Structure 1
Amino acid sequence: MDERHRRILQKNRVQLLKELEPSLLYDGLIAKGVFTQDMIDEIQSKSVRRDCSRQLLTDLEGRGSQAFHLFLECLREAGQNRVVDILCQRGQIPVPPIIEPLPVIIPNPTPHTWEFKDHLDRGDATIVVKGVSCSQDKTPLPIQCTEDQHLHPKPSRRVRRDSLQSYKMDSNPSGLCLIINNVNFMQESKLKSRAGSDVDSDKMKKRFEALNFKVSVKRNLKAQEIKRSVFDLAKEDHTNFDCCIVIILSHGREAKHSRFPGGIHGIDGLFVTMEALTSYFNGQNCPSLQGKPKVFFVQACGGDEKDTGFDIPADEFSSASNHHSGDDQTDAAPMITSVKELASCDEPDARTSLPNSSDILVSYSTFPGYVSWRDTSTGSWYVETLDAVLEEYAGSEDLVTMLMMVTDKVSQNSAKGIYKQMPGSFNFLRKHLFFKTSASM
């Protein structure tokens, strides 16, 4: 890469780390020969978006003289015009990008100026590039890149430039949504009541009704009642629906698994594994949802460890991070130490394998093995952030991208000024999932 382009990347690095959405660029960078698949795999192995962006920018600097201009093309194609503006501002780019085949030159009556249109097939947009060739002393002058909005208005939903399709989501309603909200636990369970969970439940009910789902809420269920409720939902006829949502708000713990970790406590203290609950929706057990997305949102602890985090440079820490000093509680249960006790909770039929687990996504409020924090008055960090992200981005972003946003925002919170939380997902979706919003109906 030319030194001047490298300096542009380094000068704007902090802002780029905030704005860049690397997941939208991977296929374009491979297609244009900027990165290899192995390099993309290495970038994707990073668990946090900012780490992915940092690795991408570092690798980009060593990818040849045309890497910068091809990177700009990928950004435009992915709709990341804000990042393009950052890199092009104040004439930082002195020459136009090399575009093949050569553009058709349209003379302009003003001396030393030019304008051309790129007639390459770029999906739904014609790119118009305007600029100045050079001054009298041959010094390159800045160019300005704009999209012809008059001919091609900006779509309301981001145009995907990769090979993945999107799930069909045009049924009315889009599907069924079940919310299980465990608040008050029986005394013999030795589990505390979950103050603030009703706030989470109300938020999720309103949010998914707004996203065109038929929502039902069940409160204070025992372990067997949780299994029966989810089993009955899977046995419904989903032929006329495009999707199914299950939201679980309860205490949780670690549990053995082969694909989906974690166990969910009923109010009686017994628990059912996520492995069992998701198995009701696999291709064999729920034929009316075959090939359709089944999504679980789980606000529960994955264990009893508390994450104290690690230090990062001050310029990389968002000013929007929250320090919770109120009544923060966890959804963790006492750790099982007895094999006999484990056998009494994890019943034989809760160890079902998942031979047909495609089109299932389970989003967890916390990393396996760690606690999940909940404010007794405002609800859990995870649900509060999920609701806010869905409200702002459901009309333009797919679910996986929005969950990365949730992870990034929640990871910046801290409980009592010390403890951290990292949501995550086990994703077996095959396509992009865009929810139906009022704007898209």
Structure 2
Amino acid sequence: MSHKFRGRALIFNNKYFEQQQLPTREGTDVDMESLSKVLRQMGFKVKEYTDLTRRAIIRKINKAGMKDHSECDCILIAILSHGKMGSLQATDTDYPLESILSPFTIERCPTLGGKPKIFIIQACQGDHKDPGHQLLEPGCIEADNNCFISYRIPLQPDFLIAFSTIPGFCSWRNTVEGSWFIQNLCEELSSSGKIRDILTQLTFVAQRVAFNYESFYPIDLALHQKKQIPCTMSMLTRILYFRDNETGHE
């Protein structure tokens, strides 16, 4: 991470949707504002896009992949939207997750070869709600290591994909304060973004979301007292820190 520039960060924020069955994502503007602020503090050149169509999103992604990143440390793409397993929602229709990853493979974007490609996905990956489990003894946690991922993504080196939830499950968002995942990610990056490596930070984000948050909707028990656990898919080949270099990033 010693190039002249930190790199580009593109945030795609979808709040309103043409399909009537997709509700407005109240609180997502808070997420975009928080994420933009912390990424700029970390040296990224941030571009924000709101309520783009599928075609416009893919065009912006492809354009970013064709740029020269020779003087950049990395690239970061954030998607704030509705979603389901393997796909994300634009304002008009959905698009596959793979379409935002493939433009940054080394074959298509050689100037990012050997550099981190970071994706932050704040979206549901299904309709299941996690009811949680009451521990009998504090600190005694049994982990289920089953793999839920059934779709394909490019398995290229140095990709890091931070999902707000695990495949098959919904992701929770406060309509006033923003989503559990993005708000805790921003807090972690703000306090430790240049101290801890990114995977350690994402572990602490998962800990905060898993242990400190629970949905509150007593008029509908199907939505009440539900939990969430973020999920990170890492193909990084090095420990990743966002420390400034000696001259600092411009």
Please, what TM-score do these two structures have when normalized by structure 1? Answer: 0.50
Q: Is residue 2:234 matched to residue 1:403?
A: no
Specify the SS of the correspondent of 1:306: coil
Specify the alignment match of 2:35 in structure 1: 204
1:76-121 deviation digits (Å, cap 9, x = unpaired): xxxxxxxxxxxxxxxxxxxxxxxxxxxxxxxxxxxxxxxxxxxxxx
Specify the alignment match of 2:133 in structure 1: 310
In the alignment, residue 428 of structure 1 is paired with which amino acid? Answer: M
Q: Is residue 2:207 matched to residue 1:383?
A: no
Q: Is residue 2:6 matched to residue 1:182?
A: no
In the alignment, residue 263 of structure 1 is paired with which amino acid? Answer: S
Q: How does 1:179-328 map to 2 (within 5 A)?
A: 179-186=11-18, 188-254=19-85, 262-268=86-92, 270-313=93-136, 315-316=138-139
CA distance in 2, matches of 1:173, 1:403: 23
1:319-350 deviation digits (Å, cap 9, x = unpaired): xxxxxxxxxxxxxxxxxxxxxxxxxxxxxxxx
TM-align CA RMSD: 2.0
Specify the alignment match of 2:233 in structure 1: 426
Deviation of 1:189 after TM superposition, in Å, equals: 4.9
- Which of structures 1 and 2 has the larger relative contact order (alpha carbons within 8 angstroms, sep 6+)? 2
Please, what TM-score do these two structures have when normalized by structure 2? Answer: 0.87
Please tell me whether the aligned partners of residues 212 and 436 of structure 1 are also in contact (alpha carbons under 8 angstroms): no
Q: How does 1:130-141 map to 2 (within 5 A)?
A: none
CA distance in 1, matches of 2:60, 2:21: 24
Specify the SS of the correspondent of 1:277: helix
CA distance in 1, matches of 2:244, 2:135: 37
Q: Which moved more, 1:415-424 or 1:288-297?
A: 415-424
Deviation of 1:239 after TM superposition, in Å, equals: 0.7
1:379-437 deviation digits (Å, cap 9, x = unpaired): 00000100111111112210011001111110111101510001011110000111135
Please tell me whether the aligned partners of residues 250 and 300 of structure 1 are also in contact (alpha carbons under 8 angstroms): yes
Specify the SS of the correspondent of 2:49: strand
CA distance in 2, matches of 1:438, 1:170: 5
User: CA 1:299–1:233 in 2, change beyond 3 Å: closer, same or farther?
Assistant: same
Among 214, 231, 241, which residue is 1:414 paired with? Answer: 214
Specify the SS of the correspondent of 2:133: coil
Deviation of 1:352 after TM superposition, in Å, equals: 8.2
Size of the aligned set, in residue pairs, is: 230
Deviation of 1:230 after TM superposition, in Å, equals: 1.1
1:285-334 deviation digits (Å, cap 9, x = unpaired): 111101100000000000011000111136339xxxxxxxxxxxxxxxxx
In the alignment, residue 42 of structure 2 is paired with which amino acid? Answer: L
Deviation of 1:190 after TM superposition, in Å, equals: 2.6
Where does the alignment leave 5 or more consecutive residues of structure 2 unmatched? Answer: 141-150, 217-223
Please tell me whether the aligned partners of residues 222 and 267 of structure 1 are also in contact (alpha carbons under 8 angstroms): yes
Q: How does 1:79-228 map to 2 (within 5 A)?
A: 169-186=1-18, 188-228=19-59
Specify the SS of the correspondent of 1:414: coil
Give every structure 1 segment of 4 or more consecutive aligned residues whose post-TM-superposition deviation is greater than 4 Å: 437-440
Specify the SS of the correspondent of 1:190: coil
Deviation of 1:179 after TM superposition, in Å, equals: 0.3
Which structure's CA Rg is the greater one?
1
Please tell me whether the aligned partners of residues 211 and 438 of structure 1 are also in contact (alpha carbons under 8 angstroms): no
Where does the alignment leave 5 or more consecutive residues of structure 1 unmatched? Answer: 1-168, 255-261, 318-350
